[in-house]
């Protein structure tokens, strides 16, 4: 029994950095899974061992390994340093534009929260607004602070993280849902809900998933023909 478990747990040590990059909820789930397997096989281990002392020793040893390698990591503040690098072709824009501060409708006490206990250095809504500003600037659009003909208003609606399998490779998938509204003359001209689904290998960590999600959000808006038509 002990030889089987040791053989299975040794590779985990070589992937320790990868485990630490996983979200706390994912690590907790893995920890619970390992503990459940150990407890489920405890009786079998008792029958297979030659003595009570060795059985208890093996059981304690396995629990120690589980605690050592799969212990949840305390969430740290992530520094999200995002740069929009894709080419942008917005075309000629007639009205002057203002990019209003983004709101956060997720109902969280901490606006810096990305998902779960993981948080960014600034409010998530501010980081997303900055990502959109970069995208427009890349297309040659400069926003004005006052007396604008039209105003872009954004709202962060949700942020969800999950692990998915992509061709046998574990990936972190962060989906940020954001509402975008174009206003002019005191009324709503156009609106939509964007789904920024960012997917990266687990080894790139949550910050990589955040950047991928931001890029997807900006790209979806700047490729929306109906939105661009309203700006002509």
Q: How is domain 77-230 classified at the CATH fold level?
A: Rossmann fold (3.40.50)
CB neighbour burial string for 89-107, b if at least 16 within 10 angstroms, e if fewer: eeeebeeebbbeebebebe
CA distance 205 to 216: 17
**pLDDT category of residue 91 using cuts at 50, 70 and 90:** confident
Q: Can you tell me the mean pLDDT for 5-25?
A: 43
Average pLDDT over residues 16-40: 49
Query: Given this model, what pLDDT does residue 194 score?
Result: 98
- Predicted confidence (pLDDT) per residue in 176-210, tens digit: 999 999 999 989 999 999 999 999 999 999 999 99
> In 3-state terms, what secondary structure has residue 82?
coil
For residue 97, the model assigns a pLDDT of 96
Whole-structure pTM value: 0.70
The whole-angstrom separation of Cα 175 and Cα 78 is: 17
Residue 82 has pLDDT above 80, yes or no: yes
89: confidence class by pLDDT, cuts 50, 70, 90: confident
Q: How confident is the model at residue 12 (pLDDT cuts 50, 70, 90)?
A: very low
Domain boundaries, the chain: 2-70, 77-230
Q: pLDDT-derived band of residue 232, with 50, 70 and 90 as boundaries?
A: confident
More confident residue, 115 or 17: 115
Q: Which residue has the higher pLDDT, 34 or 164?
A: 164
Residues forming beta bridges with residue 191, ordered by sequence position: 181
Mean per-residue pLDDT for 67-89? 75
Task: Name the average pLDDT for the chain.
Answer: 80
Q: Alpha carbon of 179 to those of 4, 16, 26, 106, 158: distances in Å?
A: 52, 38, 28, 12, 10
**What percentage of residues in the chain have a pLDDT greater than 90?**
60
Burial of 179 (0-12, 13-18, 19+ CB in 10 A): middle
The mean per-residue pLDDT over the stretch 55-72 comes to: 50
What percentage of the chain reaches a pLDDT higher than 70?
68
Q: What is the pLDDT of residue 58?
A: 54
Q: Residue 143: how many CA atoms within 13 Å on its side-chain side?
A: 18
Asked whether the predicted pLDDT for residue 152 surpasses 60, the reply is yes
Structure letter (DSSP) for residue 202: G
Residue 5, pLDDT above cutoff 90: no
- CA–CA separation, 136 vs 134, rounded Å? 6
Cβ–Cβ < 8 Å for 176, 193: no
Which of 12-21, 112-121, 148-157 has the least mean pLDDT? Answer: 12-21
């Amino acid at each position: 029994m002990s030889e089987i478990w040791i053989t299975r747990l040794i590779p985990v040590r070589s992937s320790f950095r990868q485990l630490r990059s996983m979200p706390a909820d994912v690590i907790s789930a893995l920890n619970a899974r390992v503990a459940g397997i150990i407890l489920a096989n405890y009786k079998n281990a008792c029958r297979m061992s030659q003595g009570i002392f060795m059985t208890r020793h093996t059981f304690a040893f396995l629990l120690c390994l589980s605690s050592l390698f799969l212990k949840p990591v305390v969430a740290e503040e992530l520094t999200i340093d995002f740069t929009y690098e894709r080419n942008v072709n917005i075309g000629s824009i007639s009205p002057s534009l203002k990019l209003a501060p983004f709101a956060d409708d997720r109902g969280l006490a901490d606006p810096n929260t990305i998902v779960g206990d993981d948080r960014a250095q600034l409010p998530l809504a501010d980081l997303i607004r900055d990502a959109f500003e970069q995208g427009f600037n890349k297309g040659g659009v400069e926003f004005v602070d006052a007396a604008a003909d039209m105003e872009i208003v954004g709202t962060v609606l949700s942020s969800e993280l999950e692990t998915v399998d992509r061709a046998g490779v574990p990936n972190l998938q962060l989906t940020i849902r954001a509402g975008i509204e174009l206003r002019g003359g005191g009324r709503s001209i156009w609106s939509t809900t964007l789904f920024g689904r960012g997917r990266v290998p687990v080894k790139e960590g949550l910050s990589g998933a955040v950047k991928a999600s931001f890029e997807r959000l900006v790209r979806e808006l700047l490729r929306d023909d109906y939105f661009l038509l309203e700006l002509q």
